Amino acid sequence: MSPRAYNRTLRKAAAEEAKRRIVEAAAGLHAAHGGLGTSHAMIAKRAGVSIPTVYKYFPTGNDLIPACTGLVASRAPVALDERIFDGLPRVADRVRALHEIARVLDRAGALYLHTPSRWSCFESHYKLLWLPGSPRWLSRAYLAARGRPSAFLDTLSLTTAGECARVLAAAGMRTIRVLEGDRSRRVGGPLWPLVRLYYRVFRVRPSVELVATR
């Protein structure tokens, strides 16, 4: 490679790095202050570049918006719910699926997991008030009394936040936030006050809802 071509390569790499830092800074400032509350001077200071450099690549605030939107979208959490495991009834298969998801997830990204809890008073498939932790035979009898088919019970494998966090940890992921898990969702009609008391006393989240990163 000739010295001139080498210098062009260096300049191009430096320009791309400067634009990346500007977009990163602008996205963070937009989140904190809004687009109208963010100036080129603020962006330059946070990115560690000169103000003319910001204007060189992004003459107006509107020029920054598509780049910032693309950055935020690329880092949006990958959302998973129980449907991701359709066709994978065995726990071992589900663990392998999570391992593969963790393997391909971008290091700057995040995974959002939402699945029914073992201790919930609501079963999301049947849309019924549910006895937490009930044995399979009792669940079948309950469904029969409500006139519902029970075949889905054979694939029902409820879990807890702790179990999910351990599986994610084994896949090389770290749980960074545990969310409310539909705790305020009213279920049971007139029994809702008792259900809510149960959730509060035993600190139950009716759904496993957490965010993890690599």
112-152 tens-digit pLDDT: 788 889 899 998 888 899 999 889 899 999 999 999 998 88
Q: Which tokens in the block code for residue 133? A: 């932790």
pLDDT at 120: 92
Rounded to two decimals, what is the model's pTM?
0.56
61 shares its domain with 121: no
Please report the sign of the dihedral spanned by the C-alpha atoms of residue 173, residue 175, residue 179, residue 182: positive
Residue 150 and residue 200 in one domain: yes
The structure tokens listed for 200 are 């509060």
Tens digits of residue pLDDT in 62-89? 777 777 765 655 565 666 555 555 554 5
CATH label of the domain that carries residue 32: 1.10.10.60
Which of 39, 74, 109 is the C-terminal boundary of a domain? 74
Residue predicted with more confidence, 69 or 154: 154
Could you tell me the pLDDT band of residue 91, with boundaries at 50, 70 and 90? Answer: low
Q: How many domains does the chain have?
A: 2
Q: Are residues 33 and 66 in the same domain?
A: yes
Question: Buried b / exposed e across 126-147, counting CB within 10 Å, b at 16+?
Answer: beebbebeeeeeebeebbeeee
User: Do 103 and 186 belong together in one domain?
Assistant: yes
Looking at the fold, whether 184 and 100 belong to one and the same domain comes out as yes
Whether residue 101 sits in one domain with residue 183: yes
Whether residue 83 sits in one domain with residue 66: no
User: Does residue 70 sit in the same domain as residue 90?
Assistant: no
Judge whether residue 163 has pLDDT over 90: no
| Among 74, 109, 129, residue at a domain's last position | 74
List, in sequence order, every beta strand (DSSP E) within the chain. 78-81, 111-116, 122-123, 128-129, 174-178, 207-213
Domain hosting residue 121, numbered range? 78-213
pLDDT digits (tens, 9 = 90+) for 1-58: 455 554 677 788 888 888 888 988 888 887 677 666 788 999 999 999 999 999 998 8
Residues 183 and 198 both lie in one domain: yes
Domain's final residue, options 29, 49, 74: 74
User: Are residues 104 and 20 part of one domain?
Assistant: no
Q: Are residues 92 and 193 in the same domain?
A: yes
Does residue 68 sit in the same domain as residue 113?
no
Residue type, 161: A
Whole-number pLDDT of residue 6: 47
Q: Burial of 98 by CB count in 10 Å (0-12 exposed, 13-18 middle, 19+ buried)?
A: buried
